[in-house]
Amino acid sequence: MIKILRQIFRTGIVTEPLHPGVDAGIRMSGRDLDETVRKRFRGSLTIRQVDAGSCNGCELEIHAINNSYYNCERFGIHFAASPRFADLLLVTGPVSRNMEIALRRTFDATPPPKMVVACGDCAIDGGVFRGGYAVMDGIANVIPVDCSIAGCPPPPDKILAALLQMTGQGKS
């Protein structure tokens, strides 16, 4: 036990203030979010992440926003195991044909008001997989998307900045 405590004190707090220079580079879609909805989610945002055919690169970076450097929990952002508890679906991948139905069902299972974020280049338009027989070329072709984060994969500071900007917490 003493070793664990020592290691914790030795490490100290590594969490960084969110770099002001980070441009979230997000694209808001035409779907306008009600200002009250945004306000309600501010400081408490529950995310259900759905992999709809990604290569696992985006998942690694989404995991990283949980680590001590980015510490998304300090902004009240946390990940839920079920879509029924979620305010926001964070979707990655070009939507493989085999995930299309599962993605629609997850969307339907999420209680309104809800937001959808397409994370990564292939979530936006299919990326390197675009045009194949087994992909739907982007999340927006399957469920309505509120905002998208470009990058292959987008780095964690960008993902975090985008989530904050969505709920009006970030520096816009």
Positions touching other proteins (CB under 8 A) are: 3-4, 7-8, 11, 14, 49-64, 66-69, 79, 81-83, 93-94, 96-99, 102, 106, 127-129, 131-136, 152-153, 155
CB 39, min distance to other proteins, A: 27
Cα 117 to chain center, whole Å? 6
CB 87, min distance to other proteins, A: 16
Query: At CA 170, angle to CA 168 and CA 172, rounded to 5?
Result: 85
Query: At CA 167, angle to CA 15 and CA 156, rounded to 5?
Result: 40
Q: Kindly tell me which of 33 and 124 has the beta carbon lying closer to other proteins.
A: 124
Q: Kindly tell me which of 121 and 146 has the beta carbon lying closer to other proteins.
A: 121
CB 2, min distance to other proteins, A: 10
Give the whole-angstrom CA distance, residue 33 versus residue 116: 11
CB 55, min distance to other proteins, A: 4
Q: Kindly tell me which of 27 and 63 has the beta carbon lying closer to other proteins.
A: 63
Q: Kindly tell me which of 96 and 167 has the beta carbon lying closer to other proteins.
A: 96
CB 35, min distance to other proteins, A: 29
The DSSP letter of residue 21 is T
Give the whole-angstrom CA distance, residue 5 versus residue 7: 5
Q: What does the block give as tokens for 113?
A: 């008001």
Q: Kindly tell me which of 6 and 39 has the beta carbon lying closer to other proteins.
A: 6
Give the whole-angstrom CA distance, residue 52 versus residue 49: 10
Those residues whose C-beta lies under 8 Å from the C-beta of residue 161, and which sit 6 or more positions away, are 18, 22, 23, 24, 170
